[in-house]
Amino acid sequence: MPDNPVTMREAAGEVRRSAYGAAQLVAAMPRLVLEARRVAASVYHGVHGRRRAGPGENFWQYRRFVGGEPATRVDWRRSARDDLLFVREREWEAAHTVWIWPDCSPSMVFMSKAAAATKRDRALVLAFALGELLVRGGERVGIPGIMLPTASRAVIERMADTIVHFAGSPPSLPPAFAPGSRDEVVLLGDFWSPTAEVTGTLARLGANGAGGHIVQIVDPAEETFPYSGRIEFEEPEGAGSITVGRAEAWAADYIQRVALHRAAIRTAAARLGWSFAIHRTSRPASELLLSLHARMSASADALPKTQPAAQHAEEAAL
């Protein structure tokens, strides 16, 4: 039986779109790497590290002795300099793994006149800059499904190289993997996939008790629906197109559905004890990076993640 010519044309079109998207990504990567370094440098001096007291060999700090502690914890040499008692603390050295997933699917290439960058470019800049900050803080960084965790100082280059050489179409949601209970997951995407698919993915990723942070990266036009008149809307990932006669009549229903979709994601995140934030591409990347790093530092010092129901997700609209 001969091949269906319609199917063959669709397949050829998909190949062309994929090749063009890959070429665009390769061309943009040097600029994105440089921007990520700039953003990381601008944020680095304004953040507190994720270092904390615990088992280890390296000195971290002296602190005041607290009544009720064993006297064996007193550093008598340091205490002899003052009339106070001090305890010598060591730095916690059990670095853990942070999995960072930047969404590079076709829907992330959208950019309206109100935006400063495409959603894909912003996701990559944030992923690279966050990876740089985490490695400087002694953590390991990996990309689910394509890059094993590393503490290399060249983490930005490794991430960029891995993403460029990834074979296949980038998925709209994180790939199936099982982060450890002490791991942390950072998801950077638009999350416009069907609500059930998004919430199901989150439930699977958090099943082992891993911590997590969800950042929905959106173009301002995707929230306000600033369209009127006859408009053809095309789904960027192959679901076809639709022509609307009076687009403005759709605005109220569209905005309501966006709110319901986000509410479901927020609820799913809250069940896991994960944070949820919205980042608009009209805002600087450094704003989100500073806020996200602060949340991650706070979660690193929080109670063990064995009681996710007792924690609450927080939404920050940046």
Residue 2 pLDDT class (50, 70, 90 cuts): very low
Give the rounded percent of residues in the chain with a pLDDT score beyond 90.
Answer: 51
Do residues 289 and 39 touch, judged by C-beta distance below 8 A? yes
Instruction: Report d(CA 32, CA 105) in Å as an integer.
Output: 17
What is the chain's mean pLDDT, rounded? 82
> Mean pLDDT, to the nearest integer, of 78-82?
83
What pLDDT does residue 303 have? 41
pTM value > 0.85? no
Burial of 3 (0-12, 13-18, 19+ CB in 10 A): exposed
Structure confidence by residue, pLDDT tens digits, 54-74: 444 455 567 787 777 787 878
Name 234's Cβ contacts closer than 8 Å, sequence gap at least 6.
Answer: 240, 241
Distance of CA 186 to the CA centre of its chain: 4
- Its sign, for the CA torsion 242, 245, 247, 250, is negative
Instruction: Report d(CA 199, CA 282) in Å as an integer.
Output: 26
**30-34, 42-46, 52-56, 252-256: segment of lowest average pLDDT:** 52-56
What pLDDT does residue 262 have? 97
Residue 304, pLDDT > 70, answer: no
